[in-house]
Structure formats: C-alpha cells, structure tokens
Amino acid sequence: MNQFHSTVSRRDFMKGLGLTGVTLGSASALSPQFRDLDELANSAKVVNKRGWWVKERDYGNPTIEIDWNLMKRRDLRGFSNWDYASLMMAFPGGPPAFKANTPKQAAAVTAKAKEIWPDYAGPTIRDKALSSSFWASAYGHSGYCRSQNQHGMPTEIPAPRPSAINTPVWEGTPEENAAMLRAVFSLVGLGPVIGTTMLDEKSQNFIWEYSGVSWTGDESVPGNKHIVLDSGITESYVDATSFHIPTSQKYVIATHNISCDGFLRRSMAGAGFSSTEEMSYVRVAYAKSIVEQFIRGLGYNVTYGHDLQSAVAWDMWSGVGEHCRMGQVIGSPEYGGLLRTHAVFYTDLPLPVTNPIDAGFVKFCETCGICADTCPVGAIQERGIDRSWDNNCGQSWADDKQAGGSKVMYNIPGYKGWRCNLFSCAFTPCASACKSNCPFNAIGDGSFVHSIVKSTVATSPIFNSFFTSMEGVLHYGKQDKDPASWWNSPDEWFIYGTHPNLLRQ
Amino acid sequence: MEYFIPLMLVGAVVAAALFGITNWLRNRNLKVSWYEWLIGGIGFALLLLAIQHFFGAMEEIFPFAAWMGLAIIGVPALILMLVAWQLVARRAKQS
C-alpha cells in the first residue's frame, strides 16, 4: 500500500522496536513529511492555525459595515502622524496648541505609570540607552529602514530572473504558492497570520490615491505621491511625483511581524515613545526586502507598500483579524493587539483568497474597553461609546478636502467603527501601551482557559463583560509587572522578544 | 501529540485515583449516591483545571494569573471535594 502520510509503516515500526527504533519511529510519526506540494498545500500547517471558533465569512463581508459611497481612495497629501511639522500644522489650534499639548502627553504617561507602579522611580540609564538605540536605528534616522517605503531594496546583486539562469519560471497552484510563501515568511520573521486576497473594484479603495508624508528618509521628494494603478506595466516604479502599481499584481498579501510581548507589557515605564519595538520597522524592512527578491527570483513581480494603503483594511478583508476598539490596530483572535508592523504586498504570483473572519472580536470590544482604560491620553473611545461613522479627531467630515472642504482628515470615513484620535495619540510616549492590554493577547498553548474564553466569546456575547472583569482579576495583560524586572528575568529574554508560543505557525 | 506524555501521566493519575477511591469505598462498604459522585467529580475536574491553569500561566510567564487562577479555581474545587467527602462520611457515621 502506498503510504503518503507516514514514511514508517506499522510493520517497519514494529521491527524497529527498541529504544532507538521507538524514538526514531515516534519522531517520524509526529513530524509530518510530505511527498509532494499538493499534500503540503493541503496540510493544516500551511494555512492560518485557527480555532474551530474562528468562523469564516463570505468574501468581501467583514464584521463591520462599510459604506462604499464613502469608502474611496484617500488623498493623504500633507498627512502624517509621525512627522512633527505636518502634524503641527494639522493639529486643532495649530502649532501653539500642538506645542502646548506635547508636555501634557508626557505628563499623562508619567501619571499613568505612577498609578500602576506607585514606587517606580522612572527609567534608568539602561532603559534610556535601549530606547535611544531603537530610536537611532528607526525610520529615516539610519540606513536600516531606508527600504521600508515603497521601493525595491537597492542591491548590487538582485536575485536573477529565471530566464537569466536558464530555468523555467516557478509554476505552482495558488495553494502551493501560499504554502511556499508561508515557509519563507517564517524564515524572515513575518506572520504567523498571513492573509491573501484580491484587488477588486471595492478593495482597491483601500489603496490611497495620494500617499501621506513619508518618514523613512529615502525619497528625494518625501511622500505625497500619486499612487497609480497602472495597467500598462508589469513592474512597479516610483518617480518624483507618482508611484505606479501594475494592475496585474492583483493578489494581495497582508501580514505583520509580531510584537515583543513581554517588553510591550512594560511599555509605560516612561523611557519614551521609542522604548517599545521601534526595531519592528527595521525587521519588516529587512523581511520585505528578502520577500521582494524571492518573488523576483521565482519569475514574478511584487510591490511592497508601507504607506500606500490602509493595512488594517487589508487585514480585515483577508481575514487576518477583525476591527477593534483601538481602531488603528487589527484585532487578531489568536494574537489580540500583538500584530505589530504591517507588511502588505501586491503580486502577480497567483494566490488563494482567505476570507474575512468572525471570532466575536468586534462584539467583545463593545463591552470591553480595557485598551481605552490603559490609554493615558484618552485617544481610544471609552467603554460605552458604540461604533459610529464619526471622525473622533475633532474634525468634521464636511471639512474633508475630498468632499469640497480644505482639511486633511486624520481618520477615514466610510465604515461604522471606532476611531482613534490621532491628534491625542501621536507622539504620546506610552510606547503602544493600548496594544499590550488586549484580553485577546493571551498566549496560546498555555492555560486551558484561553481557548475556552475565546471559543465562548465567538459563540455568544453573554459572558463578554464577565470575561473582561476576569481579565482585570487575573492581570494577564495588565502592565503591573515591575518595569525593571525585564532586565532581571532571563526567562523572558526570548529570541525576537516574543514568547515562542506566539511564533508557532 | 505534543502533550502526549503529560496527558498520559494525568490519565494514569486520574485512573489510579478513581481505582483507589472505589477500592477504598468498597473495602469499607460505603455507599455513594449519584449526587455525591457528581459533586466530587466536578470538584476533581476543577482541581485538574486549576493545576493545568497554574502550570499553563507559569509557562506563559504570568505568575500573578497563575496564583490567582489557582485560588479562584482551586479553592472551589477543594470545597466541592470536601463537601462530597463530608456527605459520605457523615452518612456513614449515622449508619
């Protein structure tokens, strides 16, 4: 009998009895080995590892309401929530109000830290040094992030096209291609959740019409570029005024790198807004460069875009996660708010479609609000505030320059949800504290309780407020660990700063 | 299959405990009603969950959650098992 799924037959196994035989036999039986790509592509390991309670929805039907008359490609020229000059000009009340607000943000974080750790004396030189070292390498401050914006990585030896080495172009089914990408992504530190979806008449509205102000420091004219969906080309290119994405690159990949969870749970320790995970941008810049070269080497084309689109929208569209109260963060049923810097690719390598999901996340956020409790500056809409079509940045949609007004909007219209007040959020030195506290951050393969809670939440909202209270009692995400203890806890010094259970594919 | 050995050990302990209890009851000719089995069984299941939660949360490096969970789940577990034992013991004493 042809045995595809185990390389050890029962007879061989029995023959090999004895300690060595048993050990080897068990190892073979426990580690799946695949005879061909078809088998591999059909394995549960090469799709997102999901609980039974994560329900798949129809394509194009995420768990929030979208008004397609309002959800249009956005003009973000002049927008930036990470550029002092741009934000200052857009800030309600202008530069004087912005300058007056900055010390208030720092004071609010200090007050929150005092509330959590009454005896905490503040960051020491080692905290400050680590924070500064992240900051030194981040964004456009160094060469490390230079290729994060929408460019191919400059390299002297790009991966050769198959024709250049007399090899046929890679041919695989969409499922095989997805499995192959998942393997590569695991190597370079992207995932574990990977969504693959399509550009279509609706979803293309997630791509900005004009990009905002760039921040990686590698553009001669920083950002503010016209993003053209171009049917006349096969490779993307950028010039001084525009960025062209070939329409043939209709397959979209949405993923992230994952947070340094233990470190993130101490983010409010006051070492500054760069104290948490600024290196995630560097990591994604590195990872995306390898992905670009890999797909090129297969004989296909790819476009990476850091600030070409609403990444959260692609996450929802492709089932990476659901909308959540934090607004600008994706809510992952497996990883909560721990999906860090996004990585969105457009490619002509055929890929299958992963559909939107419903794990009860949006419904849970309606009664939870722990992230809003954690936010020191009130940027996140509090418990009791329902989803709406409103702006929540103190702006009026009527002033939207795309609706005949004169202002750059700091949120986007067209969906019924929660929106973060970016004017409050930007430059607050809390180091993404909100993301550390999400009850869905629970680490898998540990306590039994997480899978019971998550499956119950996905099935019925009756216990949602009870589970929120229990999160408060058990302190899973609470930033109550001694902020200095990270330095003295070798058990928490994971490679990549991430608990290994969170890294499993 | 990752947890095959610990699960097997838990199974062995549960089986041995049940065997021990039933033998002990039989040797002393003690009768246990269905609701006493139920109360004791729920208590025992909760105790197993409390232990799993404790080690699971420790593995996740959440010691506060581990200890608090042990108290929240483990104490009711012990109370239920105590109730079941007392019901049986007092009835046996009366007869």
- By C-alpha distance, the chain A residue nearest B69 is A474
Task: For B10-57, write each residue's pLDDT tens digit.
Answer: 899 999 999 999 999 999 888 899 999 999 999 999 999 999 999 999
- What distance in Å separates the CA atoms of residue A474 and residue B63, rounded to the nearest whole number? 10
Which pair of structure tokens corresponds to residue A412? 């986007």
ipTM: 0.84
Contacts of A262 in chain B (CB under 8 A): 61
Contacts of B56 in chain A (CB under 8 A): 446-449
Give the closest of A30, A448, A499 to B56, CB-based: A448
**Chain-centre distance for alpha carbon A56:** 20
Which pair of structure tokens corresponds to residue A12? 């061989």
pLDDT digit of tens for each residue in chain A (505 aa)?
A: 333 443 434 444 344 334 334 333 444 444 455 556 566 655 655 678 899 999 999 999 999 999 999 999 999 999 988 888 889 999 999 999 999 999 999 999 989 988 888 888 888 888 888 888 888 888 778 888 888 887 788 899 999 999 999 999 999 999 999 999 999 999 999 999 999 999 999 999 999 999 998 777 667 677 899 999 999 999 999 888 999 999 999 999 999 999 999 888 888 876 665 666 788 888 999 999 999 999 999 999 999 988 899 999 999 999 999 999 999 999 999 999 999 999 999 999 999 999 999 999 999 999 999 999 999 999 999 999 999 999 999 999 999 999 999 999 999 999 999 999 999 999 898 989 999 999 999 998 889 999 999 999 999 999 999 999 999 999 988 887 777 888 888 988 998 889 999 998 7
Residue partners of A436: CB distance under 8 A and separation at least 6: A261, A264, A265, A267, A337, A374, A477, A479
- Locate the domains of chain A by residue range: 34-56+71-503
**Which class for A30: exposed (0-12), middle (13-18), buried (19 or more C-beta within 10 A)?**
exposed
Give the closest of A446, A492, A501 to B57, CB-based: A446
This prediction's pTM: 0.88
Distance from CA of A124 to the nearest CA of B (A): 24
Contacts of A446 in chain B (CB under 8 A): 56-57, 59-60
Which of A447, A452, A485 to mutate against chain B (most B CBs within 10 Å)? A447
Q: Is B68 part of the contact surface with chain A (CB cutoff 8 Å)?
A: yes
8-state DSSP, B10: H
Torsion of CA A311, A316, A321, A322, to 10 degrees: 110
- By C-alpha distance, the chain A residue nearest B66 is A474
Distances (CA, A) of A166 to A21, A161, A171, A299, A316: 44, 9, 15, 12, 40
Sheet containing A237-238, strands listed edge to edge, beginning at the edge strand earlier in sequence:
A226-230, A242-246, A237-238
